[in-house]
Structure 1
């Protein structure tokens, strides 16, 4: 299992302002914008980026809608088997923005400081997005050198790749190594954390996107770049 911590996080401020309701930043008063920027600056210092990943052999059984990982752990679902249909390996990962910013978000909500909470919440989401993108860029260079292709990533919660399959990811990866644990309801803690997997194989090409919004069922996601298309 590989662990990365040397990740200089940067965020797309335009996305963050859009998420908290400011599509046109020129309409924000200087005082409000300054207070938001102060929260962003302090929030960035709270982020402790960590990513754990493992490259595994897989076997896809499309007739049983099952993907076996290293022969003893599996993922279920038509979407997952279709996504990995021509793959012989997968890279499975866990990522977190760390416990400190998660606690600060919780504290802000408890104190009814909803603007601060929303800013930090969006900031942590964008940090995770940026960490994954940086990891993706590293992977693409390595995979190209091996003459392989790579899919975009999918995560538990995509279509019939259910959140309960976080359990399989935690069997493959030791989340404790980066301070993560899984609740009985399959929620990753600290809350600002995520998981996913990429497929690898010969002849599948390099995906143009790290993540395909057309496969994501979170219809009101503020980061959506294309409409959801039902995958059969």
Structure 2
């Protein structure tokens, strides 16, 4: 196992439409009210000054597979119906966590406590889009790193989806990541704190199954309800329902 690597992620650009989609708003038939646009633009601008996207990742050896299990170095394993199919022939698993920090969550809490419901809801949606897009940036960079070494990679996957029931394996991911280095920890329910953070895994190797054009969303029953899919983002988190 290599030592975990920390990356500072460039601040992504987010759009008004992406925030509307993250909220589940549909303005295809009529445009939003000017005051709604003004509020959302103000929250996007405020969010840009609060988020600090950071990623931490590590490479872990794959030692074998079982029925619904993927075995890792040091006697650890992941329990998932999808991982053995998608990454059973991988040489390595790449574990990664991404966060946008605590400042935006603190601000959301301030708005909530002040009874500013519109600001609370809108800033929360902005944070959802930011963590999704920061996650995509980090995963793309990780893919490019291994592709330059001549290795293939799987699509990213994460605990808590229908193909990976339960969050117990978050303990495995955090064991290897040592994510406290970027301010992350798990609560008693194995959800990441701070809340606007994600953790994913991806297989790497020379001989991987061909899932060209597929993402983990294609194997997840949350496709129609996922707020990050609504934001046109194809990365998700273990604490999806909390986002």
TM-score by length of 2: 0.83
**Is 1:49 paired with 2:70?**
no
Equivalent residue, structure 2, for 1:230: none
1:27 aligns with 2:23: no
Residues in 1 aligned to 2:226 and 2:168: alpha-carbon distance in whole angstroms: 21
Q: Which one of 138, 141, 144 corresponds to residue 144 of structure 2?
A: 141
2:94 to 64, 77, 91: 91
Secondary structure at 2:169 match in 1: helix
Query: Matches of 2:73 and 2:56 in 1, distance apart?
Result: 17
How far apart are residue 132 of structure 1 and its match?
A: 1.7
CA distance in 2 between counterparts of 1:160 and 1:203 reads 22
TM-score by length of 1: 0.86
Gaps of 5+ in 2: 233-243
Q: What is the alpha-carbon root mean square deviation over aligned residues? A: 2.2
Residue number in structure 2 paired with 1:38: 42
Pairing 1:108–2:108 present: no
Report the Cα offset of residue 126 of structure 1: 1.2
Distance 1:123 1:211, change over 3 A: farther
From 191, 195, 200, the equivalent of 1:187 is 191
SS state of the match for residue 17, structure 1?
helix
For residues 33 and 161 of structure 2, the distance between their equivalents in structure 1, rounded to whole angstroms, comes to 39
Q: Where does structure 1 lack aligned partners over 5 or more consecutive residues?
A: 226-232
What's the offset of the Cα at 1:206? Answer: 8.0
The separation in 2 between residues aligned to 1:61 and 1:205, in whole angstroms, is: 14
Secondary structure at 1:95 match in 2: strand
For 1:52 and 1:204, locate their aligned partners in 2 and report how far apart those are by CA, in whole Å: 24
Larger mean CA deviation between 22-31 and 95-104 belongs to 22-31
The answer (yes or no) to whether the contact 1:166–1:186 under 8 Å persists in 2 is yes
Contact 2:87 2:203 in 1 (8 A): yes
Change (3 A) 1:106 1:164: farther
Matched, 1:131 2:131: no
Q: Report if the CA contact (8 A) 1:58-1:71 is conserved.
A: no
